[in-house]
Amino acid sequence: MGAALSMLVGAAPLSDRPSGTGTRAEATPFLLIFGSANRPWNIENWQEVSDTVRGGRSQATLKYINPLAPTDGVSFEGNLDSQTLGGAGFASQVYRHPLSLPDMDDEPHRYSAFILELDPLQQDQHWLRTFTFGVRDAPIGPPNESAVIYQYDFTLPSPQKLNLSKLDQLVKIKIPFNKLVPTFRGRPKQDEKPFKPTQISQISFMARSFFNHQSGPFHLNIRRLAIE
């Protein structure tokens, strides 16, 4: 049985609220998944799943941004190779431990989206900008069994397009549940049921080439993951 997550904004300490939400209405539900002392990232429970399983050369790691302060967030970093497999490279870190969420049909305000809080990209770094968030709502099967994964691609703003005053502010990515795309073996799956997050059995962060549209080093600082 996974860890029960039941932290609402009305009862959560201020440190467990997302940045910049101090004026959020008390009735608005907010539930932190990773990113505090009570909801640690536990990087030892994440594992790499990359194109090396198909003979590729991409790689990805998940590290604490500050090893002395693990609640500060994690760094998803590595190198994306788009050449070895003819443009089909990918590198990811996957968390495969069930998370039991409240029954959202019973909530006065139902949760409707994942929230990612990220560091902005820096001016002097030429890293990848587009990443894929993945989540699974079915029980975990055998290790090599393929399953439906709901995915959402997001792109960080170019550092050149940010005001200098915003370079030290977190980037908030909102991922509505109804925008999560069901995929099977990396391809969209038609006629699949909508994502329902009552039971989350897998979470992943991925860098992929989109068939030669991007490649090279990547470095994404992830401060917190929540739903609201």
Q: What is the CATH number of the domain that holds 56?
A: 2.60.120.430
Structural domain span for residue 85: 3-227
Which one-letter DSSP state was computed for residue 47? Answer: E
Q: What is the pLDDT of residue 146?
A: 80
Contact (CB, 8 A) for 10 and 27: yes
Given a cut of 90, whether residue 25 has pLDDT beyond it is no
CA distances from 209 to 58, 84, 94, 112 (A): 10, 12, 18, 29
Tokens of 147: 């399953």
Tell me how many domains the chain contains. Answer: 1
Given a cut of 70, whether residue 15 has pLDDT beyond it is no
Over residues 188-221, the pLDDT tens digits come to 898 888 898 778 999 999 999 998 899 999 999 9
Q: What is the pLDDT of residue 101?
A: 73
Given a cut of 50, whether residue 109 has pLDDT beyond it is yes
69-84 mean pLDDT: 95
Q: What is the pLDDT of residue 166?
A: 56
Given a cut of 80, whether residue 66 has pLDDT beyond it is yes
Given a cut of 80, whether residue 8 has pLDDT beyond it is no
User: By mean pLDDT, which of 116-125, 126-135, 175-184 is the weakest?
Assistant: 116-125
- Top-confidence residue, 34 or 16: 34
Given a cut of 80, whether residue 19 has pLDDT beyond it is no
Q: Please give the mean pLDDT across all residues of the chain.
A: 83
DSSP string, 113-164: EEEEEEPPPPTT-----EEEEEEE-S----TT---EEEEEEEEPPPGGGS-G
Q: What is the pLDDT of residue 9?
A: 30
Given a cut of 50, whether residue 179 has pLDDT beyond it is yes
Q: Whole-model pTM?
A: 0.83
41-79 exposure pattern, b = at least 16 Cβ within 10 A, e = fewer: bebeebebbbbeeeebbbebebebbeeeebbbbbbbbbb
60-79 mean pLDDT: 96
Contact (CB, 8 A) for 189 and 182: yes
